[in-house]
A = this chain, B = another copy of it.
């Protein structure tokens, strides 16, 4: 039976201790039972995780690659996450660094439906990064948000997303909002000849998320936003795979910060924002840019972009979508840093640039196109 593997980093003073800790993960993540008391040989030899490699990363820190029999995950995305990091998430000093999916795992987690190429096809944008703005502040009516969407789209922005805090509040109920905003973007597209997509936030309780994704598509939204740490990652996967939803999926990191908050626990940035978001269906993975009001480092942001693109069987690459700290001044630097296959999120900066949002969008698009052209020449 094929095995997928996970590389964990772990704290240990020397190799013997590291091997013990790695073996402990093998047991904890599968049978969770005293190894010496397991009487069935196939359980001991096949179901228990297996140390495939162990190496020292730095003084006191080791990397252990552990493989798991696909049957342990049992064809379920939640149980896959449980094998990946269920109880071990509670152990100190263990971090998920890299996932190496097997073919069977990829049948369950085939990744984004559209990916970089698909999203470029839908937006018609080539040769430059995509630009995404956000509808806010919360408290505006659906009508006012739609008016804002219209002005963004008229300025030629590529993607307009709901702020992730827009749920189904009375001041802008979901159904009215998605209908009005999708219609406003369609109207602007007719005027500009563009193909701006409205990214509707469908994050909601349990089965409601999928229902909203389907409603969003019927209303003419172009993509959906899912805060997977709020809905559960498996719900994002369901939205991505559902043919009646069938829209590109933007992963939002709300409530996910704890996964990367401790340097030696949780997930590496690449594994969470790159691999995991992608395996669970994200066509674009939103994360806080290093220059912004959050605390990700340049190296962490770079690793996320790598995780969005690294080879994983037939899984499509997704867009890294850094947000925060984007201004007209920083555009060239950010385009050079992240590369052309990036979605840049700009929120407050656009409002600050000019009272004329439409003009602000045009200026920004021009600045990004120039930066992308300069990068090609250099």
Contacts and interface: CB of A to CB of B under 8 A. Distances in A.
B87 A254 contact: yes
Contacts of A210: 206-207
A253 B32 CA distance: 14
A86 B163 CA distance: 12
Give the number of copies in the complex. 2
B230 A40 contact: no
Contact of A138 (B43, B88, B137, B266): B43
B238 A137 contact: no
Interface string A241-278: 00000000000011111110110011100000000000
A227 interface: yes
A254 to B, nearest CB: 4
A79 to B, nearest CB: 4
A209 B78 CA distance: 10
A77 B205 contact: yes
Contacts of A33: 136-138, 163, 347-348, 351
A230 B86 contact: yes
A14 interface: no
A367 to B, nearest CB: 20
Contact of A74 (B82, B170, B267): B170
Interface in A20-44: 24, 28-34, 37-38, 40, 42-43
Interface string A106-141: 000000000000000000000000000010111110
A168 B34 CA distance: 22
Given A79-B165, A137-B31, A139-B31, A71 B171 contact: yes
Interface in A158-184: 163-165, 167-171
